[in-house]
Amino acid sequence: MSKHQYAMVMDLNKCLGCQTCTIACKKLWTDRDGTGYMYWNNVETRPGLGYPRQWDRIGGGWKNGMLQPGPLPTMEDYGYPWEYNYEQRLYEGSRKPVMPSPAPTSGVNWDEDVGSMNGDENYYFYLPRICNHCTYPACLEACPRKAIYKREEDGIVVIDQDRCQGYRYCIKACPYKKIYFNEVTGKSEKCIFCYPRLEKGMVNACAAQCPGRLRFVGLLDDPESPVHKLVLKYRIALPLFPEKGTQPNVFYVPPFNPPKRENYGKSILEDPRLPLDYLIYLFGPNVKDVIVRLEAELSRAQNGGRSELLQLLIGRDAQTRYHVRPQLVQIQG
């Protein structure tokens, strides 16, 4: 067990699906040879295929203490990275419009804003995803090379690039499919929770760039941190697919839309805009209690009361949203 655990909370009510986090991450970490198809941070439309396609339905995680490895997704499932023929258009005199190559047939957030139907109404929301830096990482257990380790000082899960041999058992075991194989280096890679930034007191790039201000970062075991408050004090943030057994350390405030019709004074549980079954599928049965708690806070604020939780969720400034403590987690001696 790690001494401390960095965690992230994402408020899905505030996500606009702009992919600024995705680009912040990509420019910082996966703008290298062999990494074109990788998005350590991705934002996918839910309900939807996800990235890689159907990742939530192909196994991984734990069951009765045993790993449940699934099949490896294919490049088609991730989407081949395509390039645009700028050289021909800009330098070689082609008069045709710039075209992507190879012709795109799938990709990250391929089914953007498609969603699903609830009765006769369309619904969807955005789900930003990074590595969950799980407390019980299935990837770590699956690696026969012991190339994956969980940092004792802050709980961040990383792959030792010197030890990794690219066997990809970790990808099969990860229930969130958040490890990617780089065929150019022959090794696997994943989100590192921006630990080099955290060690300098800066927050993760995906959080720093988020215009929706939906990400909260801090130590789960630090009572002053926003993540501690949202997850453990107010208990309104839940992990994704808790039944996979890895105990993720990325948590989500479930999408909390008003009821479909005649919404004044009515609970969304009575007439949900997003089918409750789908939220239970993603976040487990506790999502119902979370909605009840959020509705109570909202109701208090609407009746002129003060809600510390809602103020925290609004997260006006970086000091509220982030509590990065490099001095607390540094390795002594």
Binding test (CB under 8 A) with another protein, winner from 13, 20, 68, 320: 68
- Residue 74 within binding range of another protein, rule CB under 8 A: yes
Number of neighbours of residue 175 by Cβ within 10 angstroms: 26
Closer to another protein at the Cβ: 74 or 299?
74
- How far apart are alpha carbons 124 and 17 in whole angstroms? 11
- Beta carbon of residue 18, minimum distance to another protein (angstroms, whole number): 24
- Residue 331 within binding range of another protein, rule CB under 8 A: no
Binding test (CB under 8 A) with another protein, winner from 66, 97, 223, 277: 66
Residues 109-148, mask of contacts with another protein (x by CB under 8 A): ---------------------------------x-xxx--
**Are 9 and 237 contacting, i.e. CB atoms less than 8 angstroms apart?**
yes
| Residue 3: exposure state from Cβ atoms within 10 A (0-12, 13-18, ≥19) | middle
- Residue 182 within binding range of another protein, rule CB under 8 A: yes
- Beta carbon of residue 146, minimum distance to another protein (angstroms, whole number): 6
Q: Which residue has the tokens 């009572």?
A: 223
Give the total of residues touching another protein (CB under 8 A). Answer: 38
Cis peptide before 226 (omega within 30 of 0): no
- How far apart are alpha carbons 5 and 156 in whole angstroms? 7
- Between the alpha carbon of residue 215 and those of residues 218, 222, 256, 301, the distances in Å are 10, 17, 16, 22
- Beta carbon of residue 244, minimum distance to another protein (angstroms, whole number): 14
Contacts (Cβ under 8 Å, ≥6 apart) of 147: 159, 160, 163, 164, 165
Binding test (CB under 8 A) with another protein, winner from 51, 181, 241, 322: 181
- How far apart are alpha carbons 191 and 178 in whole angstroms? 8
- Listing from the earlier edge strand, what are the strands of the sheet with 238-239? 238-239, 250-253, 6-11, 215-219, 322-323
Binding test (CB under 8 A) with another protein, winner from 11, 25, 29, 37: 37
- How far apart are alpha carbons 294 and 256 in whole angstroms? 8
- Residue 163 within binding range of another protein, rule CB under 8 A: yes
- Residue 48 within binding range of another protein, rule CB under 8 A: no
Closer to another protein at the Cβ: 59 or 155?
59
Binding test (CB under 8 A) with another protein, winner from 105, 122, 161, 165: 165
- Residue 243 within binding range of another protein, rule CB under 8 A: no
- Beta carbon of residue 33, minimum distance to another protein (angstroms, whole number): 4
Binding test (CB under 8 A) with another protein, winner from 2, 19, 35, 109: 35
**Are 216 and 315 contacting, i.e. CB atoms less than 8 angstroms apart?**
yes
- Residue 100 within binding range of another protein, rule CB under 8 A: no
**Are 211 and 16 contacting, i.e. CB atoms less than 8 angstroms apart?**
yes
**Residues at the interface with another protein (CB under 8 A):** 31-37, 66-69, 72-75, 78, 80-81, 83, 87, 142, 144-146, 162-163, 165-169, 171, 180-184, 186
